[in-house]
Structure 1
Amino acid sequence: MDRSVPGLIVKVGDYPLHHGGVGAIRSLGRLGVPMYAITEDRWTPAARSRYLREPIVWPTSGREPRGRLLAGLLRAGRRIGRPAVLIPTDEEAAVLIAEHQPELTEWFLFPRVRCDLPRRLASKQGLHELCVEHGVPSPASCAPRTFAEVERFAERARFPVVAKNRAAFERRRSPAVHGTTRIGGAEQLLVLARRWGERPGVVLQEYLPLEEAEDWIVHAYFGRDGEPLALFTGVKARSWPPHAGMTAAAYAVDNPELAALAAQFIKRLGFTGIIDLDWRFDRRDGQYKLLDFNPRMGAQFRLFENGAGVDVVRAQHLDLTGRAVPEGEQRDGWRYVVENIDPVARLAYRRGRGGPGYRAPHTPARARGTELAWLAADDPLPAALMAARLLRPGAQHLWRWWSGRRAGT
């Protein structure tokens, strides 16, 4: 690694409990790379990692004007004082970087990509259009422009369907739905649609039933020539909310067919940089269907390493600093667990759809090793801060109850 080139974790929005940022700080920091991170305050888990050189406190909501976000990122660059590798952790940050490459060049290193591409890929409608254009299977989708179009869709649709916000930034500014929303029938759809106004910012997608599907993930880093310098595949065992949210537990499982499909699509797009893809294998027609394309680091990226110890964040730093990226087979059979959400996800999977003890078909019977999202023996404070921030609302409620009880006596 070139230890003279720092890394900067870039985020837009208020989500202090983000294990992906902590993972990136540790991944490069353990190799001696100076790490900086944009944080909400000085007491987020990322801000207290032993591998962080300095937190750059800059609270954002994602609703700020683009010029203000750009100015804040440039201030961070001047504060670091030397070119740093940018590592975005959300779609908003990835789009901001792509659309302002000329202004950011003085202070930062980042993969050069067509400026409009990350926004299209982060958009559910844009992604579906690109999948159709390049012959990549994806769920049948509709992007209604008016309430009347929602009504016409409801008359002919086969329910259940899934509703998602159409574009990046919408989830923070004026989200029509919160995350992926499963809609059981026409009446429920119309009730929800009346809240969306005359210009619904949603995409309505075909629902791929759990009983006939399996969730897969692809993480990769693509270099300037469109070739994958690191590419990994895995099975999502549990997510929160169930079957539609953030990964709670996953396993590294080699899948050459899916890897080839993803690599071919990325090369056709001409995308460079880190990607995090969600696929669902539909056993009804034997196709892998692309659900989400995140043009940035995925929160669970530390599940994946090759035999040379390279993950996608290390691959990007090596490539952007002119180093060769060592090749190697992926570390198969490893498990990744997010401690603050997997216990409740595990309980939901046992009680919910899929039957008691539901298990993704390709989940290994026994993990060869486990990577925890938060807890690390050499860096314990992020896990402690995560727990403290989770428990704080409950502690405040208990204190109010106890204070009121004492006042009453």
Structure 2
Amino acid sequence: MAEHTAGVPFEADRDVPGLVVKFGDYPLHHGGVGAIRSLGRLGVPMYAVTEDPYTPAAASRYLKKAFVWPTTGAEDPARLVEGLLRIGGRIGRPSVLIPTDEEAAVLIAEHQAELAGPFLFPRVDPALPRRLASKQGLHELCVEHGIASPSAAFPRSYDDVVAFAETARFPVVAKNREAFVRRSRPAVHGTTRVATRAGLLALARDWGPEPGVILQEYLPREQAEDWIVHACFDRDSQPLALFTGVKVRSWPPHAGMTAHAYVVDNPELADLAARFVKEIGFTGVVDLDLRFDRRDGQYKLLDFNPRVGAQFRLFESEAGVDVVRALHLDLTGRPVPEGEQRTGHRYVVENIDLPALLAYRRGGYTTPHAPARASGTELAWFAGDDPLPFLTMLARFARPGAKHLYQLWRTHRRGGSTATK
């Protein structure tokens, strides 16, 4: 057993493999690597869907086999189900599915009957993951269940955008209404802060006759704190593992993927998340993003990802349980040991945290709940017992990755796609 599992007071079922499922072309994904390591260190045979044989995930010593399957995420669902069943047949025994994107999570939920033979996964209302992944669907659920969220509008035409702009308080935030368009036909690239009415109308001219966007209240970062919740819920929507933390930096700045975060105890937030999940009846792993608005003292739900989050390895209990381990234990009929979260632990994504640090220092932003000193650090890519994913990441990231970061940095400084004037 690897040093990372020393003292873990439980054993996983090594006869039940895990399969990391991802659709689309995003090879530098540390969440999949984290899932492979998490269960692989327990002796669970691990498999993964990869874009090509040279992704960081495919290089992990804990991966038994990579199934190379280039997809866009926009294929006919029947074709994707057929592909998963073919992979299940090659594995040859029931495997726990671990989706790392919304497309995979929604496909699994909507095709449970076809996938139930060769795979194990939480049973959920088939329509719920798609609704949660939709910005509009999530907003409607928040309203139904009394969960705070930023005020929002969902224009159906350019005229609707014009009418919104007449009364809106700027800046506002524009996002793609559905998560599934982000790799094929996004109206905006990520979270876009729009500073003025003129800027919004100029942007909207490219959205076509039916804008696929949500226009949302802007929560100023000077008056807000970014919090995250990662959890795994059983068939009765009771938490098997539930963790809270604070996001210190993200890339692109203030609007993108977590680059640096800490585990911070927040019982109020934990209760809020557990209550919402219980009321909507979700089961399985979740990754939530919330922003605490100091102006009114409310936690406002921004994103509900019905799958494993990329930074889930930030969170592990004193019993050695993270959400992926909790999922595997539960689906294989084993108890999930209780334990407090590792308060003060931090998570760093090496390839994006440095540019994020420079951007945040320039803006003078600090996170009040981040501890002065971390109790421990989990790196997204580097691990002494599994170094090849880190080296593979560096090789793939070095030239196109650096160029991409530079372009994002210039965009941020100029107030371009993330801050339209």
Which residue type is aligned with residue 377 of structure 1? G
Matches of 1:97 and 1:291, distance apart in 2 = 23
Hey, what's the Cα distance between the residues in 1 that align with 2:340 and 2:398? Answer: 40
Q: Runs of 5+ in structure 1 lacking a partner?
A: 397-409
- Find 2:85's aligned residue among 64, 74, 96: 74
TM-score (normalised: structure 2): 0.92
The 3 A distance-change label for structure 1 pair 182 and 395 is closer
Query: What's the counterpart of residue 419 of structure 2?
Result: none
Q: Tell me by how many angstroms 1:168 deviates.
A: 2.4
Residue 389 of structure 1 aligns to a residue whose secondary structure is helix
Match of 1:172, SS state, is: coil
- State the Cα distance separating 1:395 from its structure 2 match: 11
Matched residue, 1:376 = 383
SS in 1 for 2:163: helix
Q: What is aligned with 1:32?
A: 43
Shift of 1:169: 1.1
Using structure 1 for the length normalisation, give the TM-score: 0.95
In structure 2, the residue matched to 1:237 is: 248
Aligned with residue 312 of structure 2, among 289, 298, 301? 301
Structure 2 equivalent of residue 279 of structure 1:
290
Report the equivalent of 1:185. Answer: 196
Amino acid at match of 1:384: L
CA distance in 2, matches of 1:104, 1:68: 13
Distance (Å, rounded) in 2 between the aligned partners of 1:173 and 1:366: 42
Aligned to 2:157: 146
Matched, 1:246 2:253: no
- State which drifts further: 247-256 or 56-65: 56-65
Residue 28 of structure 2 aligns to which amino acid in structure 1?
L
Where does residue 23 of structure 1 map in the other structure? 34
Equivalent residue, structure 2, for 1:406: none
Amino acid at match of 1:276: D
Distance 2:77 2:307 in 1: 19
- What is the SS of the residue equivalent to 1:274? strand
Report runs of 4+ in structure 1 exceeding 6 Å deviation: none
Corresponding residue SS for 1:328: coil
| Corresponding residue for residue 416 of structure 2 | none
State the alpha-carbon separation in 2 of the partners of residues 63 and 29 from structure 1. 30
Letter in 2 for 1:367: A
Structure 1 position 328, deviation (Å):
0.7
**Which letter maps to 2:229?**
V
1:131-280 correspondence to structure 2 within 5 Å: 131-280=142-291
One of 353, 370, 375 as aligned partner of 1:363:
370
Where structure 2 has 5 or more consecutive residues not aligned to the other structure, the ranges are 1-11, 404-421
C-alpha distance in 2 between matches for 1:301 and 1:394: 23
RMSD: 1.1
The answer for the alignment partner of 2:106 in structure 1 is 95
Task: Indicate which of 368, 372, 394 corresponds to 1:387.
Answer: 394
Q: Which amino acid aligns with 1:340?
A: N
What secondary structure does 2:258 align onto?
strand
Q: In structure 2, what is the Cα distance between the partners aligned to 1:190 and 1:237? A: 32
- Report the Cα distance in structure 1 between the residues aligned to 2:128 and 2:183, rounded to whole angstroms: 20
CA shift for structure 1 position 394? 8.3
2-structure distance, mates of 1:149, 1:116: 28
Aligned-pair CA distance for 1:173: 2.5
1:331 CA drift (Å): 0.8
Give, as a single letter, the amino acid of the residue that structure 1 aligns with 2:13.
Answer: D
- Cα distance in 2 for residues equivalent to 1:125 and 1:187: 24
Counterpart CA distance in 1 for 2:184 and 2:204 is: 18
SS at match of 2:398: helix
Partner of 1:335: 346
1:393 offset after TM fit, Å? 4.0
Q: Secondary structure at the match of 2:117?
A: coil
Q: Distance in 1 between matches of 2:170 and 2:402?
A: 42
Letter in 2 for 1:386: M
CA displacement at 1:64 relative to structure 2: 1.4
Letter in 2 for 1:329: E
Aligned partners of 1:14, 1:43: CA distance in 2, in Å?
13
